[in-house]
Amino acid sequence: MKKSLIALLVTGLIATNAQAAGQDNTWYGGAKLGWSNFYGVDESNSMTIGNETNDALGAGAFAGYQINQNLGLELGYDYLGKYKYDAVNNLTASAFSDEVKAQLAQLTLKLGFPVTDGIDLYGRLGGGYGWVDSEAFDSDSRFVVVGALGAEYALNRDWAARLEYQYSSPYGSRDDIGLRMDNGLLSLAAVYRFGQVAPVAPAPAPAPAPEPVVVEKQFTLSSDVLFDFNKATLKPAASEALDSLYSQVKEARPKDGVATVIGHTDRIGSEGYNQKLSEQRAQTVADYLVSKGIPASKINVEGRGKSSPVTGDKCVSQSKRELIVCLAPDRRVDVKVEGVSEVQE
């Protein structure tokens, strides 16, 4: 029977895993069943014992209070079975048979030592009230010492299995003419823990917000693509170039910033005329971008006339037609995007 109990516990340990120690300040209860053995039997000088049967089936019930994972109090009742024997009365030379039934009510301090998430080793120490009923002698009751060693395995949050060896002594009936004995109880128990609460998982920390990306981009379109020479009205084919420009500005996703449209002209004509023409062309491009969906509040318009040429002194000693062609790079519209990009989550 001893090997069977150990095998049952090992099977349970392999099959499942849970938290070992019960939660603080909670109650538990359980029942046990096992092998009870009476040993160290001392008979009186007036009696000789033979043909003894000291193995029996033991059972019990218990309830406890788990103060913390290392300390608990436990109250229990055990039925320790029957010790049977044949005896000879040395005074009368008469033979007789006897059956001694032992029981125990106990109160112990339970000291636990969690060793893994699933296993708790423990010891119990205390005392109790033990009594025996004998067929041949008067019944007897007395204080007994109780000690136990065991292992408890949590099957889940509420249930646990326990393997325990308990020692208690003395038991007896009429010390003067009867006998005295010790008891060992090897048992397997099921334990139910009351009021266990599922642990609350901490809320995950919010993911850090993506760092904003500073945007500084500039796009340039040739005025000759958008406008006829000396005009501020868009050509029919200009929409393709402006749609491409809009897509690039939208991709940058300016947020808390601005898009500045800057118009430029070549050096042909007066300064005042070119300034006005550059402002008109910049405004035309800005209006187109607004019509596509860019907020007007995020667009500034500037005209710089002929103040920022890119051709330098390349175009000299040419006819007017050749000069117009040579100065084409100066006739342009720049769109500068500045600010913080709109971060994608």
Q: Which residues of 140-171 are buried (b: 16+ CB within 10 A; e: fewer)?
A: beeebebebebbbbbbeeebbbbbbebebbbb
Half-sphere exposure (Cβ direction) of 223: Cα atoms closer than 13 Å: 31
pLDDT of residue 201: 81
pLDDT of residue 179: 78
pLDDT of residue 239: 84
pLDDT of residue 13: 40
Residue 227 DSSP code: B
pLDDT of residue 9: 42
According to CATH, what is the number of the domain 214-341? 3.30.1330.60
Alpha-carbon distance of 110 to 78, in angstroms, equals: 17
* pLDDT under 70: residue ranges of the chain: 1-21, 44-46, 173-178, 215, 252-256, 317, 341-345
pLDDT of residue 165: 98
CATH level 2 (architecture), domain 2-193: Beta Barrel (2.40)
Strand 254-263 versus strand 299-303 pairing type: parallel
What tokens appear for 279 in the block? 């402002």
The pTM of the whole model exceeds 0.85: no
Alpha-carbon distance of 325 to 261, in angstroms, equals: 24
Alpha-carbon distance of 55 to 83, in angstroms, equals: 7
The domain spans of the chain are 2-193, 214-341
Q: Tell me the per-residue pLDDT of 62-93, one tens digit each, with 9 for 90 and over.
A: 999 999 989 999 999 999 999 998 888 777 77
